[in-house]
Amino acid sequence: MTFSQSIKSVFSKYFDFSGRATRSEFWYFYLFTFLVGMVYFFAVITTAVTSGVNSAALTYIQAIYAIYALGIMIPSLALTVRRLHDTGHSGWWIFLNLLLVIGSIILFIWYITDSDPDTNEYGDNPKQEFIAEF
């Protein structure tokens, strides 16, 4: 799955907490969110330096980013649940993040783990579906 296909896939499955998501879909989407965050960071720094910290432009930039952050909250959660499904784990394991360091490490290991090669209780292997499209 390419970068643009990943972004389209995540937003087309906005509220879809069922099924599975490949590693590439997961990591490309988080690369996208990182890049948007970097653009926001540089926009804030540039605006703060040129217009001042209390400028209206800075407020607008922060408001736009807040709307963006709220807009990607649900698809990010849905993608994370689908990624956990892909490794054979329930989406409820996302609450391991509440254990801070240990829970985050366990989830990170599951996020980088390859897909279950066969069909699991959450659906068919998305890698096989993607290959079948070509």
30-88 pLDDT tens trace: 999 999 999 999 999 998 888 877 788 888 989 999 999 999 999 999 999 999 999 98
Residue 130: pLDDT band with limits 50, 70, 90: low
Amino acid at 129: E
Q: How would you classify residue 4: left for phi > 0, otherwise alpha for psi between -120 and 50, otherwise beta?
A: alpha
Amino acid at 80: T
Q: How would you classify residue 55: left for phi > 0, otherwise alpha for psi between -120 and 50, otherwise beta?
A: beta
pLDDT exceeds 80 at position 132: no
Query: What distance in Å separates the CA atoms of residue 94 and residue 5, rounded to the nearest whole number?
Result: 24
pLDDT exceeds 80 at position 128: no
Which residues pair with residue 123 across a beta bridge? 120
93-107 pLDDT tens trace: 999 888 888 999 999
